[in-house]
Amino acid sequence: MEFKNFASSTKKVPFTSPYPPLVLSAKEKKQLRQLAKTLVEVNVDAYEQFLYENKGKLPESEWKFFRRDQQVETYLRRRDEYNLRGFGATKKFRRGSDTSSTASTSSARSEELSSLDVADIRSIGSRDGTIEDAVYGAMGPLRRRCPTKEPFTSLSIRWRVTENPPILRNILKSYDHIYLEATGFTHLSNGERVAFHLLHSVDFPSVTPPLPDYSRGQVAAIGFWRQTAPNVVEIHGRGVFALPFERARALFVPVVTTSMSKSVMHIFYAAHMKKLRWALTQRKTRDLARSQSSVDRVCSVCNKKRTIRQGDDCDLCGDLVCSVCRITHKVASVGLENKMHWTKAHVCPFCMTKVINLDTAAVVCAEIKAGWYDRFP
C-alpha cells in the first residue's frame, strides 16, 4: 500500500503501455503457454465440481450472495473457506535464471495469498448468444497477423491500470497490473467444448519494474462459457483480487465484485460492437442505392413522416430511420498508433439484428486476414 503525494495532480489513466515491447525468448513463450494450460486445467476441475458435484449451485456454507445483474448472480467466498490451489499468486519470470515458478500452480507459503488478502468471487448465470461470441468479445487487439486455423486462440502479455474507488483516489495510488491473457476453447471430461478467457498476474522484474505513480496489483480471473441451448450460454466466472489491506475490504470488494459481474456479461455486447465495427468497415467499401423510403422521406421502420434531418439514414443499409426507431452505438477501435478511437453509429433495428446474427468465426477470420489480430508465434 502506498499513499499519494497530495501535491501531485490527478492524471488521466493511460491507454498505452509505458514499457517497451516485450521481446520473449523461446523458453519464456513455452513457459507462458504451459502456465496458461495448467491454470485452465486447474480451473476446469473446479468448474466440473461446480457442474456435477454441486449441481450448478454454490454451497451457502462457503459462498455469500452479493449482487444480481440481470441473469447473472455474483457471490463472495466466505473467508474461512479459501483453497486457491495456487490460483492468484503472481508468477515470476526471472531472466538469466534456470528456476521459475511458471511450471507449477502451487506457490510457496510466502507467495500464496491468504484469506485476509484477497476477495474470491464467482459470477454465475446465463446470457443469449454463443460461446464463440463470448471469446470474440473477450479477445483484445494485437499488433501482428496470425493464422486463421484457430482464430479464437490468443495468448498475450498486457499492462493496464485499475483506478481506486473515488473515495480513495486522492489518497492511495491506483493499481497497475502486468498479466497473462489467454482465450480459446477447452473440453470438459465428458468431451463437451467450452470457451474460456484467462487473466493472471505475471512479473518480469527486469523488464516491467514498478512505476512511481502506481502500486503493482495482483489479479487472477477466468471465465467459462458453455452452450446449453442454440442461443443460450451458461456463464461461470471466477476472480481472485488482491486487496491493499484488511480494512479496505468494505471499499474494494464492492468495486471488484461489480466489475467482475458486469465484465462476464458485457463481453457479449463487446462482440456485437466488434461485429458492427466490421460491418461498418465493409459498408464503406461499397455504394448503397437509395431506397424508396429515402426518396419519400419516410422512416423505413415505422413508415411515418417524422422530422428527418440530414444524417438520419442507417449507416449500414442507407435507409432513412427516424430518431425514435434508430439505434445509436459508440463503436471503439484501436488505430495503428495504438490509440483508442470512438465512432458514433446510427443503424436501423433490421441491420442491427443482422449484425448480431453474423457468423462470429467468419468475422474473426476476415479480421485476421485484414491484420487486426495476432497470437503468439
Radius of gyration of the chain (CA): 23
Give the strand pairing for 219-229 and 193-203.
Answer: antiparallel
Question: Which of 276, 303, 322 is the endpoint of a domain?
Answer: 276
Distances (CA, A) of 19 to 23, 32, 207, 244, 260: 11, 19, 8, 24, 27
- Residue 291 is given by DSSP the state P
Predicted confidence (pLDDT) at residue 9 exceeds the cutoff of 60: no
- Distances from the Cα of 180 to the Cαs of 32, 91, 352, in angstroms? 8, 10, 33
State whether 193 and 319 are in the same domain: no
Say if residue 344 is in the same domain as residue 222.
no
73 in the same domain as 168: yes
* Residues facing 341 on adjacent strands: 333
Domain end point (choices 276, 311, 342): 276
**Distance between CA 221 and CA 285 in Å, rounded?**
39
pLDDT of 52 > 60? The answer is yes
Is 2 among the domain residues? no
Q: What does the pLDDT read at residue 350?
A: 93
Same structural domain, 205 and 109: yes
46 lies in a domain?
Answer: yes
CA pair distance 188, 45, nearest whole angstrom: 8
Task: Report pLDDT digits (tens) over 294-304.
Answer: 556 788 888 88
The answer on 109 and 47 residing in a single domain is: yes
The fraction of the chain above a pLDDT of 90, given in percent, is 36
Q: For the chain, what is the domain count?
A: 2
Together in a domain, 110 and 38: yes
φ, ψ (nearest 5 deg) of residue 26: -60, -35
Please say which residue of 276, 304, 333 terminates a domain: 276
End-to-end Cα separation, the chain, in angstroms: 37
Residues 251 and 327 placed together within one structural domain of the fold: no
Mean pLDDT in the chain? 79
Given a cut of 60, whether residue 320 has pLDDT beyond it is yes
Contact between 368 and 148 (Cβ < 8 Å)? yes
Question: Which string of DSSP letters, residue by residue, matches 112-169?
Answer: SPPTTTEEEEEEEEEEES-HHHHHHHHPPP-SS---SSSTT-EEEEEEEEEPPPHHHH
Same domain, 111 and 169: yes
**Could you tell me if residue 323 is inside a domain?**
yes
Residue 79 lies in a domain: yes
Whether 363 maps to a domain, the answer reads: yes
| CATH number, position 122 | 3.30.530.20
Lowest mean pLDDT among 15-29, 191-205, 268-282: 15-29
Reduced to 3 states (helix: H, G, I; strand: E, B; else coil), residue 106 is coil
- Please give the Cα distance from 333 to 227 (Å, whole number): 28
Sign of CA pseudo-dihedral 140, 145, 147, 148: positive
Nearest to 2 by CA among 159, 166, 175: 175
**Cα 348 to the center of its chain, rounded Å:** 28
Same domain, 65 and 162: yes
Percent of the chain with pLDDT over 70: 73
Of 249, 218, 256, 246, give the one whose Cα is nearest residue 107. 218
Domain range for 356 is: 287-369
* pLDDT for the residue 236: 96
Instruction: Answer whether 311's CB lies under 8 Å from 305's CB.
Output: no
Question: Are residues 309 and 256 part of one domain?
Answer: no
Q: Are residues 122 and 144 in the same domain?
A: yes
Q: Does 197 score more than 90 pLDDT? A: yes
Span 66-121, pLDDT tens digits: 999 888 999 998 875 555 555 656 666 666 554 444 444 434 333 444 444 778 89
Do 186 and 291 lie in one domain? The reply is no
> What per-residue confidence (pLDDT) applies to 5?
44
Q: Confirm whether 209 is domain-assigned.
A: yes
Whether 87 and 180 have beta carbons less than 8 Å apart is answered as no
Q: How confident is the model at residue 335 (pLDDT cuts 50, 70, 90)?
A: low
With residue 186 as reference, give the H or E element that holds it: strand 175-187
